[in-house]
Structure 1
Amino acid sequence: MNIARTLIATITAGLLATSAFAMTQPEYKAAKDTISADYKASKDKCNALAGNAKDICAKEAKGHEDVAKAELDARYKPSAKADYKARVARADADYAVAKEKCDDLSGNAKDVCLKDAKAVHVTAKENAKVSEAQAQPADTPAAKGAAVAEARKDAAAEKNEANYKAAKERCDTLQGDVKSKCVDDAKRMYGQ
């Protein structure tokens, strides 16, 4: 009997909390229109620039729009999946801008820049996956713990792989034994 009351109280509190933070359809539409207007204004400002600076500006404007839309969706229909999508949108936007900034470089410096950007992107996406696993409900605490542990394990492997590739790319400017030592150090550091 006491468990039933606790369960009902928990469900009621959850529903009230969700409805208190959820947006109405008119609020959602107004916010979406504001995001579109902000994107158009930001994009128009980019037209005054030239070359890669214009490209970077355009990627930043598009990234801000994508992130704002994903965060708006997460506020409109709150869920672990919506929060995950917002985190991934932020990671993707940051990655697009970082890659564009790498275009100002050339040769190995550009390659290293791209690998570093990819490593940061992978890290952000994997962290989002772990957060999503932590937010997901589970039948038992043990099941949730296992799911989170698995997500962390997978995330660590992906992050290490991306960081290893970036570290290895830095070694490409070296030659001979120094390059071999650099690659070996990177393998050791990132468990490859």
Structure 2
Amino acid sequence: MMTHPIKLIVIAFCVVQGAGAMAQTLSRDEYRAGRDALAADYKAAKAHCASLSGNANDICRAEAAGKAKIARAELDLRDNPSRQARYTLGVARAEAAYGVAQQRCDDRAGNARDVCVKEAKAARITARAEARAQLTTGDANDLADEKAATAHQEASSTANQARREANIDKREAQYSVAREKCDVYAGEAKQHCLERAKAALGQP
């Protein structure tokens, strides 16, 4: 019996699609092997850090821990490609950078250290806000795809709100840094510095 050509095309398409989907994920053995390799790398990195002392040791350990978290998030993304996994990776990168920055700030003193810490926190807030906005926007678009035009309008509104909230978080973080920098001044000079910061960042 002859098989209809259209059926053959459909079957071939499904096979290709299935192969593509499988290529995007890992087998259990591959995932376990990847996890074991990450654990070995982290152990080796910590051993290297043990040869250092003082704040260099702290920075090294923060870098090792951050890289391990990022690598694990990347492995999870390969194993299960999804928007949530990409968000988790974005957060891991933000936290890793923040952890290292905190330790590097310890090499400074006084206002320079305070500013460094504020800048590290601002960078962390900005990165997390951006990751959250992308996640919220993507989820809203997915919901809209399942519904009618009205849902698309709602999705657009949700995405815009997510962006507005992210921008507010960023400006507040930047203002926190600016205020810390103004602490090097006193009296009227400090007041002018704060007023300029408020005006530049739209703070009340």
For each residue in 1:92-115, what CA deviation from the matched residue of structure 2 results, as whole angstroms up to 9, or x when unmatched? 010000001001111111100000
Q: What's 1:138 paired with?
A: 143
Is 1:73 matched with 2:84?
A: no
Mark the CA change 1:133 to 1:15 in structure 2 (over 3 Å): closer, same or farther: farther
Q: Which residue of 2 aligns with 1:28?
A: 31
Task: Report the secondary structure of 2:107's partner residue.
Answer: coil
> 1:13-24 residue pairs with structure 2 within 5 A?
17-24=20-27
Q: Which runs of 5+ in 1 are unaligned?
A: 1-7
Instruction: Say how many residue pairs are matched.
Output: 182
Separation in structure 2 between the aligned mates of residue 133 and residue 175 of structure 1, nearest angstrom: 43
Question: C-alpha root-mean-square deviation of aligned residues, in Å?
Answer: 1.7
Partner SS state of residue 138, structure 1: helix
Q: Confirm whether residue 86 of structure 1 aligns to residue 83 of structure 2.
A: no
Identity of aligned residues (%): 41
Match of 1:48 among 39, 43, 51: 51
CA distance in 1, matches of 2:185, 2:127: 30
Match of 1:63 in 2: 66
**CA positional deviation for 1:156:** 0.4
Q: 1:111 to 1:15 in 2, by over 3 A?
A: farther
Aligned counterparts of 2:20 and 2:152: Cα–Cα separation in 1: 23
Structure 1 residues 14, 84: CA separation in 2 closer, same or farther (over 3 Å shift)?
farther
Q: Which runs of 5+ in 2 are unaligned?
A: 1-9, 145-150
- Alignment of 1:177 with 2:177, yes or no, is no
Q: Answer whether contact 1:18 1:78 (CA < 8 A) is retained.
A: no
Distance in 2 of aligned mates of 1:86 and 1:58: 20
Partner of 2:123: 120
Structure number, greater radius of gyration: 2
CA distance in 1, matches of 2:185, 2:17: 58
